[in-house]
């Protein structure tokens, strides 16, 4: 097996791990439904050995293994200063508020734990005060939210906005009362001693275990701005949970992005600070208006709402290039004015520094069409347009050399774990992306009996997935199965367009057929709210795209059918993917087999993993893509999925739902 761990000699902590995870160990009383699992115990031994020898471990743990406890127990007992990085803020909070306190209490381990988030999660005294004074509200909601936030400031110890449930996390007011790396006053700030960001970093410095998330970890490694930079040198152990997300997250942060919205924010702040501190120094309104217009004109060079284009795809005759030059010139003009006025206030100097940085990013966004995929080409240049902003991206073609640079230096153990890191027990796709080639890796299988608990159903008679009306063809075959399952369904789509069409069609069909299945559609409400309502309904149908493929846990009868409309191949027009594949093919590799297919399989494993979440769960995975059967690579796909019984007959699926096992058949 690629990168597989050789049968390791007994580790010095093995006997203790056996005792802790055994039937009479301390974890049982602490966790109501805890039961010894061989795969969990073995994974904990491997983590303990990696910590002990300060080496790397890539650990794939099937659903139900209990990987969180498998790494927490050795980390809390023997990990020294430990950084645990998770895929999402939700999982970060779950670890900090629930899992770590449970394990710490069970082990009676005297370790201190801190939670560290990005600065945009913490209320800023200075920006709150400025917003209260300026009163630049954008909506009536903002006024009420601001009142709540002012009250919150007097009561909170952490300043973490997650604690203030009355103000939605995505409320626009948060942008005005939190700091960014650009507009933080740092040690010059009058509130520096009370700063929540500084307080959180100080606690993290002193704690034995610090919980962060991947975005924070890599933002820091790239920008040196989140407090991890100070933590990393002293860490003995770094653990990445949900590690399959790392390549995408690291790519995001090791690249460079310039956005027209940053220019508009700078203009907003220059106008406010200029009028406040240097009203007589310039015609501030006129100075910023020309820059704002240039930024908006650059966005308007693409008429469509959403665009992703690599630079070679933009026609040389496009208005984009002259508009880019105009923005550079107007930004230089704004900087010339700031140069003469910046000494009049610290905040104006700060605006000047931000402007200089944006101007430098624009200058760095140079491009030689011949160099895109020549040997030594390190980045792909591309543009992305949204409804009201345009982003210019410079993205590394490989993060492996950059990430390896971060791992050099002080010896420490690095643990990478997830339920989905391998393709048919082969870890090479993940390890090559992260620069971990040759590092030990191992899979611990799920304790679930997939053959008895579920069926993989690939329906017959589906058209080509790229054909017109494909979503309707999927729904024609799905409806009888949804009905047989009594609702209790996730329909996972690969595009938002398919989500929209499926929602329209199912709403009509349920009404016409008199099916009383509540319908939950991504985008109608927040993800957490949708999931809570789906669980409570007990017979709901939830339609979602990428954000519901992973990190979603619905146990028991509420979810018995997962339908996947298509294999989740990345869109072929993705500029970064296209450039990476071009490089691979120049190296003599097959881009599809080496990159596109393994990526899709890991995504598919995530989606399939929603179905069976507990030993008592039963269900059907309906995979609606004929390529699983018709293409030579199809076998590699279904062999990477859990070992369900397989069928192509709808009658088998209906019978599965109609004939549940007798209660004593366990």
- Domain around 407: 14-118+199-246+400-444
Q: How confident is residue 550, by pLDDT bands cut at 50, 70 and 90?
A: confident
The predicted pLDDT at position 218 comes to 85
Cα–Cα dist 562/514, whole Å = 22
536 phi and psi angles, rounded to 5 deg: -65, -35
Least confident of 3-12, 28-37, 63-72, 132-141: 3-12
DSSP states of 597-640 as a string?
Answer: HHHHHHHHHHHHTTS--STT--EEEEE--THHHHSTTHHHHHHH
Q: How confident is residue 638, by pLDDT bands cut at 50, 70 and 90?
A: confident
211 and 280 inside one domain: no
Model confidence pLDDT, tens digit, residues 114-153: 999 888 899 999 999 988 887 666 677 788 889 899 999 9
Q: Which residues touch 453 (CB under 8 Å, ≥6 apart)?
A: 612, 617, 618, 619
**pLDDT at 406 > cutoff 90:** no
Cα–Cα dist 266/115, whole Å = 31
Laid out side by side, the sheet with 307-310 consists of: 256-259, 390-396, 379-385, 307-310
Q: Is residue 82 part of a domain?
A: yes
3-state DSSP call for residue 415?
strand
Q: Is residue 5 part of a domain?
A: no
Q: How confident is residue 255, by pLDDT bands cut at 50, 70 and 90?
A: confident
**pLDDT at 373 > cutoff 60:** no
Least confident of 66-75, 236-245, 366-375: 366-375
Answer with the one of 444, 476, 504 that is the final residue of a domain: 444
Q: Is residue 188 part of a domain?
A: no
535 and 593 inside one domain: yes
Alpha-carbon distances, residue 103 vs 29, 96, 207, 314 (angstroms): 11, 11, 16, 55
Q: Is 23 exposed, middle or buried (0-12, 13-18, 19+ CB in 10 A)?
A: exposed
Number of structural domains in the chain = 4
Q: How confident is residue 627, by pLDDT bands cut at 50, 70 and 90?
A: very high
**pLDDT at 6 > cutoff 70:** no
The predicted pLDDT at position 253 comes to 83
The predicted pLDDT at position 662 comes to 62
Model confidence pLDDT, tens digit, residues 167-220: 887 788 888 899 887 788 888 889 999 999 999 989 999 999 999 999 888 877
497 and 598 inside one domain: yes
**pLDDT at 4 > cutoff 90:** no
Q: Is residue 466 part of a domain?
A: yes
112 and 141 inside one domain: no
**pLDDT at 585 > cutoff 70:** yes
DSSP character at residue 649: -
559 and 576 inside one domain: yes
**Higher pLDDT among residues 660 and 314, named by residue:** 314
The predicted pLDDT at position 372 comes to 45
The predicted pLDDT at position 222 comes to 64
632 and 514 inside one domain: yes
Laid out side by side, the sheet with 619-623 consists of: 519-521, 541-544, 489-492, 561-564, 619-623, 454-457, 645-647
Q: Is 393 exposed, middle or buried (0-12, 13-18, 19+ CB in 10 A)?
A: buried
The predicted pLDDT at position 375 comes to 43
Tell me, what CATH number does 239's domain have?
3.40.50.300
**pLDDT at 622 > cutoff 90:** yes
pTM of the model: 0.85
Q: Is residue 642 part of a domain?
A: yes
Q: Which residues touch 92 (CB under 8 Å, ≥6 apart)?
A: 86, 115, 117, 211, 212, 213
Answer with the one of 444, 478, 507 that is the final residue of a domain: 444
Alpha-carbon distances, residue 592 vs 117, 351, 441 (angstroms): 37, 46, 24
DSSP character at residue 117: -
514 and 635 inside one domain: yes
Cα–Cα dist 515/500, whole Å = 20
**pLDDT at 376 > cutoff 60:** no
172 and 290 inside one domain: no
Mean pLDDT over all residues of the chain?
Answer: 89
Answer with the one of 415, 444, 473 that is the final residue of a domain: 444
272: part of which helix (H) or strand (E)? helix 260-277
562 and 586 inside one domain: yes
Q: How confident is residue 246, by pLDDT bands cut at 50, 70 and 90?
A: very high
Tell me, what CATH number does 345's domain have?
1.10.275
Q: Is residue 9 part of a domain?
A: no
Cα–Cα dist 358/182, whole Å = 11
240 and 128 inside one domain: no
338 and 478 inside one domain: no
Q: Is residue 190 part of a domain?
A: no
466 and 569 inside one domain: yes
Average pLDDT for 350-361: 92
Longest dimension (CA), the chain: 85
Model confidence pLDDT, tens digit, residues 296-350: 999 999 987 778 888 888 888 889 999 999 999 999 999 999 999 888 888 899 8
Average pLDDT for 535-539: 94
Q: Is residue 192 part of a domain?
A: no
């Amino acid at each position: 097996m690629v990168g597989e761990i050789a049968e390791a000699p007994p580790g010095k902590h093995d006997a203790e791990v056996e005792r802790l995870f055994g039937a009479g160990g301390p974890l049982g009383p602490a966790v109501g439904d805890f039961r010894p699992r061989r795969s969990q115990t073995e994974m904990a031994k491997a983590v303990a050995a990696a910590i002990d020898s300060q080496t790397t471990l890539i650990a794939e743990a099937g659903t139900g293994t209990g990987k969180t406890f498998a790494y927490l127990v050795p980390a809390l007992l023997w990990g020294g200063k430990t950084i645990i990085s998770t895929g999402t803020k939700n999982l970060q909070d779950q670890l900090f508020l629930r899992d770590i306190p449970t394990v710490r209490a069970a082990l009676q381990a005297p370790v201190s734990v801190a939670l560290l988030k990005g600065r945009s999660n913490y209320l800023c005294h200075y920006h709150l005060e400025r917003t209260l004074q300026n009163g630049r509200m954008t909506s009536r909601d903002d006024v009420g939210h601001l009142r709540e936030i002012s009250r919150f400031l007097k009561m909170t110890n952490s300043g973490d906005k997650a604690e203030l449930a009355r103000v939605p996390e995505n409320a626009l007011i948060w942008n005005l009362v939190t700091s960014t790396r650009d507009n933080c006053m740092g040690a010059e700030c009058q509130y520096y001693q009370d700063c929540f960001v500084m307080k959180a970093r100080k606690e993290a410095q002193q704690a034995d275990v610090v919980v962060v998330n991947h975005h924070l970890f890599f933002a820091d490694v790239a920008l040196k701005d989140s407090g991890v930079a100070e933590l990393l040198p002293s860490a003995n152990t770094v653990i990445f949970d949900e590690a399959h997300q790392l390549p995408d997250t690291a790519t995001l942060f090791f690249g460079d992005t310039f956005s027209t919205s940053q220019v508009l924010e700078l203009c907003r702040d220059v106008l406010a600070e200029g009028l406040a501190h240097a009203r007589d120094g310039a015609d501030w309104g006129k100075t910023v208006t020309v820059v704002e217009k240039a930024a908006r004109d650059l966005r308007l060079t693409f008429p469509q709402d959403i665009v992703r284009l690599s630079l070679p795809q933009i026609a040389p005759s496009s208005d984009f290039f002259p508009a880019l030059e105009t923005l550079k010139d107007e930004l230089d003009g704004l900087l010339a004015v700031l140069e003469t006025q910046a000494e009049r206030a610290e905040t104006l100097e700060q605006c000047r520094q931000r402007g200089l940085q944006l101007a430098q990013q624009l200058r760095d966004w140079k491009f030689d069409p011949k160099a895109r995929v020549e040997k030594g080409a390190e980045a792909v240049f591309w543009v992305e347009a949204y409804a009201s902003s345009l982003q210019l991206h410079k993205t590394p073609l490989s993060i492996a050399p950059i990430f390896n640079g971060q791992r050099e230096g002080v010896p420490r153990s690095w643990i990478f774990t997830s339920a989905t890191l391998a393709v048919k027990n082969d870890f090479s796709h993940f390890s090559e992306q992260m620069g971990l080639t040759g590092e030990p890796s191992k899979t611990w299988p799920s304790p679930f009996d997939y053959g008895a608990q579920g069926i993989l159903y690939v329906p017959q008679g589906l058209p080509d997935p790229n054909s017109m009306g494909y979503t309707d063809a999927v729904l024609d075959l799905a409806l009888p199965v949804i009905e047989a399952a009594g609702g209790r369904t996730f329909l996972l789509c690969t595009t938002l367009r398919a989500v929209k069409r499926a929602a329209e069609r199912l709403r009509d069909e349920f009404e016409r057929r008199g099916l009383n299945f509540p319908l939950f559609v991504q985008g109608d409400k927040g993800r957490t709210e949708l999931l809570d309502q789906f669980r409570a309904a007990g017979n709901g149908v939830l339609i979602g795209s990428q954000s519901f493929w992973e990190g979603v846990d619905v146990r028991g009868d509420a979810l018995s059918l997962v339908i996947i409309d298509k294999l989740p191949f990345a869109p072929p027009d993705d500029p970064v993917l296209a450039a990476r594949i071009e490089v691979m093919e120049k190296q003599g590799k097959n881009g599809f087999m080496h990159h596109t297919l393994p990526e899709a399989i890991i995504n598919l494993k995530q989606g399939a993993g929603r179905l069976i979440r507990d030993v008592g769960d039963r269900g059907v995975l309906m995979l609606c893509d004929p390529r699983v059967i018709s293409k030579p690579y199809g076998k590699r796909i279904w062999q990477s999925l859990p070992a369900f019984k397989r069928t192509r007959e709808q009658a088998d699926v209906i019978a599965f739902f109609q004939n549940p096992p007798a209660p004593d058949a366990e």
